[in-house]
Amino acid sequence: MSITITLPDGASREYEPGITGAEIAADISRSLAKAALACRIDGRLSDLSRPIETDARVEIVTAKDKAEALELIRHDAAHIMARAVQELWPDVKVTIGPVIENGFYYDFDRDEPFTPEDLETIEARMRQIIAARDAVRTEVWERERAIRHYRDNNEPFKVELVEAIPEGEPIRMYWHGHWQDLCRGPHLAHTGQVPADAFKLTHVSGAYWRGDAKNRMLQRIYGVAFRNREELKAHLTMLEEAAKRDHRRLGREMGLFHMQEEAPGMVFWHADGWALYRVLQDYMRRRLDAAGYREVRTPQVVDRKLWIASGHWDKYRENMFITEIDEEHAQEKRVYALKPMNCPCHVQIFNQGLKSYRELPLRMAEFGSCHRYEASGAMHGLMRVRGFTQDDAHIFCTEDQIESETAKFIGLLSGIYADLGFASFDIKFSTRPEMRVGSDEIWDKAESALEKAILSIRNDYEIDPGEGAFYGPKLDFTLTDAIGREWQCGTFQVDFNMPRRLGAEYVTPAGDKATPVMLHRAILGSFERFIGILIENYAGRFPLWLAPRQVVVATIVSDADEYAARVLERLRAAGLRAEADTRNEKINLKVREHSLAKVPVLLAVGRQEVEAGTVSLRRLGEKGQKVMDLDAAIAAIVEEATPPDLAQDRG
């Protein structure tokens, strides 16, 4: 009895049961068999050696299938690295080695720390393993056999992993040549399919076994891997550029902010950093006002009763900062939490007074200060903090208004991102998960409304099936920065659950009471993280309207001090963020220092400028200077420094 294999072009072929992807590729063409890395069986990525026993749709995966190829190459590179380490140091214990963004890592238990020279030695051994083209094979073992095998080989971490696998799940063993590891797979056909010139081990860090600080500290070796040498070179070049743009380094050089041990995950904003923060916040406030949002302010400390009612106490408590207070005349301590998000508090404002359908949609915005506990190892400058301010808003509307409100939000978000220097963005549409609340009818309506809203703006988006919130579908908006890195920033979620839990109602046209739909939305995400992204996107060289210090008036000689003061007064009167540098230092030193601080415009004034009523205008990053009449210079700077939304209004 034969089985039917359907190919991507719709053609079908008959084979005996047990046929493998490798054999199907060879039957199609010799060149395809040579290029094959893996196969998809009914859409699921699989080893080429996996037997196919029933009718199936099969697609052969090659290096042209970028996402799948990279997943396979990086997965095998992790195994090859672990094999190389154990061949070099047989006493080292191995744990886990997953694929991560752009590469892979593997955790090792070794008494001696790995050195940079060790990484070079490991890379060399990895290339030897790749050159050997050792076959990759797999077997499914019984649980007891796997446990016995790892105990006999003194691999306690693997024993623990096998014991944690749920009953009934297959325990799959993979061999890369003689070296064996526990893994779900899939993998390449042989070690030679990992490009020997397209990977690099990058660094070593500490990592607790299974992420628990109570467990043993391991050594994690990181690596990157790509399909070819050109892709690796491009990535390493990007990393070099990213290091130059690191917002933590630029934050110090520009005097924007700092962080310290006494307040982990909290930001100390310096004057220039806070100026940048306020410029961004003022811009966002104007855009929201114009879009019909009403700004509110809610408490930072709220009784746990509200968080229990909203559902956050059960699902989010471990990430909340909690405090207990001995209230007067209270029989027991009252428990409060610093709010990790704003949504339950916004429902409380909505609930004050009976709302009519005529008041919907009601767009409620808040620059809300929130606090969430992040593990110390997860924090990273402004990108991951414990205290932050969301550009948060919630739209209370009817079901029929979901589509139009979504479209308006995407339009607003698109304009804001363009103003901030991000001409394009990607949308990911996450649909209903298996565990959810609400009827299929409501989910159908919500997903259909979101999809129609996206298509009314653009026709390209990615579907992320099953990754929606338990209360509704969601959209994620991802920006690409100047060096090609992606940043997920904006979010939009449809919520049928929280308004009902917290008793939100409005009066319908028929006089009945109904529960509004709650649309959670953010554009920046948080001011802290988005400012970090802006710093790195612009490498600190902000457009003039965003720059914390827009102009510095620098004197060439002390005789120009009085004139510099008058110029500064004129600049500030024109609304510019300006300072004067009248130190008794040479002008070249002043130029260097203000260039390092990324000040966009420097106005140098000396005796000639004093006599002529002019300034010598220097722009950051440009050679030379331009002598201009003071009035003309100020007018030109003011025009360039006008925020985009105000410039449009003026035009």
CA distances from 601 to 171, 273, 546, 579, 593 (A): 64, 18, 13, 11, 13
Q: Quick one: pLDDT at residue 455?
A: 87
Quick check: helix, strand or coil at residue 56?
strand
Q: What is the pTM of this model?
A: 0.83
Which residue of the set 107, 392, 419, 476 is catalytic? Answer: 392
pLDDT of residue 439: 83
315 is catalytic: no
Residues of the chain with pLDDT below 50 are none
The verdict on whether 392 is a catalytic residue reads yes
Q: What digits encode the pLDDT tens for the residues 203-221?
A: 999 999 988 888 999 999 9
Type and span of the H or E element at 281? helix 271-290
**According to the model, what pLDDT value does residue 51 have?**
93
Q: What is the pLDDT of residue 488?
A: 94
| Strand 506-507, strand 355-356: pairing | parallel
**Domains, in order of start, for the chain:** 3-62 (3.10.20.30), 67-235 (3.30.980.10), 280-300+339-538 (3.30.930.10), 551-650 (3.40.50.800)
Instruction: Please give the pLDDT value at position 649.
Output: 63
Exposed/middle/buried for residue 31 (C-beta within 10 Å: 0-12, 13-18, 19+): exposed
Closest by CA to 427, choosing from 405, 447, 410, is 410
Q: Residue 149 — φ and ψ, nearest 5°?
A: -60, -45
Is 372 assigned a catalytic role?
Answer: yes
Average pLDDT, the chain: 92
176 is catalytic: no
| Bridge-based pairing state of the strands 3-6 and 12-15 | antiparallel
The verdict on whether 178 is a catalytic residue reads: no
Share in percent of the chain as helix, strand, coil (round to 5): 40, 30, 30
pLDDT confidence of residue 329: 66
Q: What are φ and ψ of residue 525, in 5° steps?
A: 100, -75
Q: What is the pLDDT of residue 377?
A: 75
Three-state DSSP state, 482: coil
The single residue of 372, 408, 577, 618 carrying the catalytic annotation is 372
What 3-state class would DSSP assign to 479? strand
Q: Which of 474, 521, 594, 598 is catalytic?
A: 474
The β-bridge partners of 269 are: 257
Residue 497 has what pLDDT?
Answer: 84
Helices (H), 39-65: none
**Catalytic site includes residue 474:** yes
Length of the chain: 651
Question: Chain-centre distance of CA 603, in angstroms?
Answer: 39
In the set 180, 390, 401, 550, the catalytic residue is 390
pLDDT at res. 179:
95
Catalytic residue among 245, 520, 549, 577: 520
User: Tens digit of pLDDT for each residue in 501-511?
Assistant: 899 999 999 99
pLDDT of amino acid 330: 64
